[in-house]
Amino acid sequence: MRKLTITLLALFSIFFSACLQLDDLAFPRDNSITAYLFDNYTGDSELALPASYDIPQNLINLISLNSQGPDEAVPTKIYAVYIGDTNTIANDSIIVYCHGQSNHMDYYWTRAKLLASTGGKNHYGVLMMDYRGYGLSEGTPSEAGMNYDVEASLDWLKAHGSDASNVIMYGFSLGCIPAINTSAYYDAFKPSKLIIESPLASVDNLTEESTVINVSASFVVTLKFNNAEHIKDVQQDLCWFHGENDDYVKISNGELIYNNYQGPYKEAHRIPGAYHGHHGVPETMGLSNYLDVVYKFIIR
């Protein structure tokens, strides 16, 4: 009887540990900040960049947006950063970067700076947003909210004269949810191409791979996303990156999404030795090689 009790306690401990990990996908850790510091940020960041990737101050534009879905009575104020000249948005090629979970834009600032050098130094515009509840953005994180926040960001580009044919959507990890959803369903402004890195396939798939007992996904996470199904409605060209050593989102997630894609063109980049986040895809590939692959996909 004592052995059975210990076994049950161990199972529940594993179960609740998985619950906390999965819920962390919906709710960011404590990342309270009072201001965005960007180049002056000294905390942990996704990757280290040499000074050659620095952005001139006149090309760093912090903006606030009103994000509001059709089911919401009032808008939510969120923050975004645009790297580039706001006076030339109408003619510029722009990457919209949807960052991952649990951290704010300062943490992912180096990735945004890196992407700005796709095709050359400060060659591309980059728009990155903090979803509601992240960084200084108001509100509470939710799956629907993330989609509304990315839609609000695209609306901002449209209002500044941007042409959807010049816009590329890029989602990383949790950010693949709004990146795929927006690419598939936001008819008001459809980006021309989609890049996804380390995507999660679905709540059910993640639950099966993250727990050792058979429970419904609804018990462990409030998200309802199903990227593996939504990708079937994406008609833009697709580029997929995933680290073969990803210890947070197994590469099988990306494989399922990639195989389900039914659009006109797709390319896969399985990166040996790459993990999730730190020592991830760009670092393992080499920054210049990574940018070269991104650029060749965009201009093909």
DSSP conformation letters of 242-280: EETT-SSS-HHHHHHHHHH--SS-EEEEEETT--SSTT-
Which residue in 33, 52, 51, 53 sits closest to 43, CA to CA? 33
- At 145, which CATH number? 3.40.50.1820
* Cα gap 82→180, rounded to integer Å: 21
**Interval 178-183 mean pLDDT:** 98
Q: Give the residue-averaged pLDDT of 184-190.
A: 97
Token digits of residue 235: 């008609």
Q: pLDDT per residue over 18-52, tens digit each?
A: 444 444 555 555 567 899 999 999 999 989 999 99
Q: What is the mean pLDDT of residues 5-19?
A: 40
pLDDT value at 216 more than 70:
no
Q: Two tokens at 35?
A: 């201001």
Strand 193-197 and strand 125-130: the pairing is: unpaired
CA distance 84 to 81: 10
Beta carbons within 10 angstroms of residue 140's beta carbon: 10
Mean pLDDT of 2-12: 41
User: Residues near 209 by Cβ (< 8 Å), separated by ≥ 6?
Assistant: 250, 252, 253
Q: DSSP 3-state assignment of 281?
A: helix
Q: Do 80 and 130 meet the contact criterion of CB atoms below 8 Å apart?
A: yes
pLDDT band for position 9 (cuts 50, 70, 90): very low
pLDDT exceeds cutoff 80 at 158: yes
233 has a pLDDT exceeding 90: yes
What pLDDT shows up at residue 3?
47
pLDDT-wise least confident of 5-9, 92-96, 137-141: 5-9
Q: What is the mean pLDDT of the chain?
A: 88
Q: How many domains does the chain have?
A: 1
Q: What pLDDT, on a 0 to 100 scale, did the predictor assign at position 30?
A: 55
The DSSP code for 26 is T
- For residue 280, the enclosing domain spans 2-299
Strands (E), 69-146: 76-83, 94-98, 125-130
Please give the C-alpha separations between residue 96 and each of 134, 155, 170, 277, in angstroms, as whole numbers.
Answer: 17, 12, 6, 18
Q: What pLDDT, on the 0 to 100 scale, is given for residue 225?
A: 84
pLDDT in tens, 285-294: 999 999 999 9
Higher pLDDT, 7 or 95: 95
pLDDT band for 226, please (50, 70, 90 cuts).
very high
pLDDT at 8 over 70: no
pLDDT tens digits for range 50-107? 999 999 999 999 999 999 999 999 999 999 999 999 999 999 999 999 999 878 999 9
- Residue 284 corresponds to which amino acid? T
Mean pLDDT in residue range 10-25: 43
What pTM was estimated for this model as a whole? Answer: 0.89
> Where do runs of H (alpha helix) occur along the chain?
2-23, 105-116, 143-159, 176-185, 203-210, 227-230, 251-260, 281-285, 287-299
Work out the average pLDDT over 169-189. Answer: 97
pLDDT of 205 above 90: no
Determine the Cα–Cα distance for residues 246 and 71; give it in Å rounded to an integer.
36
